[in-house]
Amino acid sequence: MAQTRIDRHAPRRRFAQNFLADPHYVRRILDAIDPQPGDNIVEIGPGLAALTTGLLARTGRIAAIEIDRDLAARLASTYPASQLTLHQADALAFDFARFGERLRVVGNLPYNISSPLLFHLAAFASRVRDVHVMLQKEVVARMAAAPATPEYGRLTVMLQARFRVTRLFVIPPGAFRPAPKVDSAFARLVPLGSAQPAIDDETLFARVVAAAFGQRRKTLRNALHSVCSETELRALGIDPGARGETLAVGDFVALANALSARRGPA
């Protein structure tokens, strides 16, 4: 009875709800995640529970964050609290540190908040074991992009400074209800661990990256004029006439760290 009520849920545009409905892709996603008993899993936006049921079958217990009040209530009536620890909340503002260490994040992320939510998750990278997410295919292309490609940008640098990003497979619109107008892709993010570059000032690093890609046609000389001088760029071997997409992630870290060292404590 409870499952029937959930299936009748009308997708809400303000939450950009597109629910995974194809059993083939549910299985592929679950196999890629390979959840095991004892895993510390949190699902973002369980929605109609297409993945939730499979995750619980393989692990016995997970946590979930659902912003939709009606869906959260219906999920709570379907799965006992001993199996599903449900938080009716906005994942964008959620403190993922509450879930402890070795966190495995799973989610079908709404297209309209995918980038802000990924930035938010990146702040908890030290607590994360891995992240598996469904996103618009173009967003995943940006996440996994290489320097000097059209897809390379702010999202790329901010994520790749903390994670190894891999696109696993594409999911067609017909796998969702309602069907979105674009293809989706399933991606895996694994924290770099000891290979993660040391960033001395996270706020300054984020500011430098945002400025470099604020207007892609601008040279670094112009794009970064508010945070560093042409002399500082040259001192690091960076061509002031180049554009942001030509710099590797390590270049952005080195630049931000050098600026932090020269400016000293705030």
State the span(s) of the chain assigned CATH 1.10.8.100. 202-263
| Burial of 129 per CB tally in 10 Å (0-12, 13-18, 19+) | middle
Q: What is the pLDDT of residue 4?
A: 37
The CATH topology of domain 202-263 is Helicase, Ruva Protein; domain 3 (1.10.8)
Q: What is the pLDDT of residue 11?
A: 47
Q: What is the pLDDT of residue 16?
A: 52
Residues whose CB is less than 8 angstroms from the CB of residue 228 and which lie 6 or more positions away in sequence, other chains included: 208, 255, 259
| Burial of 100 per CB tally in 10 Å (0-12, 13-18, 19+) | exposed
pTM of the predicted structure, to 2 decimals:
0.90
Region for 164 from its dihedrals, namely left if φ exceeds 0, alpha if ψ lies in -120 to 50, beta otherwise:
beta
DSSP string over 12-66: PGGGT--EE--HHHHHHHHHHH---TT-EEEEE--TT-HHHHHHHHHHS-EEEE-
Q: Which CATH class is domain 2-194?
A: alpha beta
Cα distance between the two ends of the chain: 59
Cβ-contact 60, 37 below 8 angstroms: yes
Question: DSSP label at 83?
Answer: T
Q: What is the pLDDT of residue 9?
A: 57
* pLDDT tens-digit profile, the chain (266 residues): 333 344 555 544 444 568 899 999 999 999 999 999 999 999 999 989 999 999 999 999 999 999 999 999 999 999 999 999 999 999 999 999 999 999 999 999 888 889 999 999 999 999 999 999 999 999 999 999 999 999 999 999 999 999 999 999 999 999 998 888 899 999 999 999 999 999 999 999 999 999 999 988 899 999 999 999 999 999 989 999 999 999 999 999 999 999 999 876 55
Which residue type does 202 have?
Answer: E
132 forms beta bridges with 106, 188
d(CA 33, CA 104): 9
Three-point CA angle 132, 137, 141, nearest 5°: 85
Q: What is the pLDDT of residue 97?
A: 97
State the span(s) of the chain assigned CATH 3.40.50.150. 2-194
- Residue 45: closest CA among 88, 97, 8, 2: 88
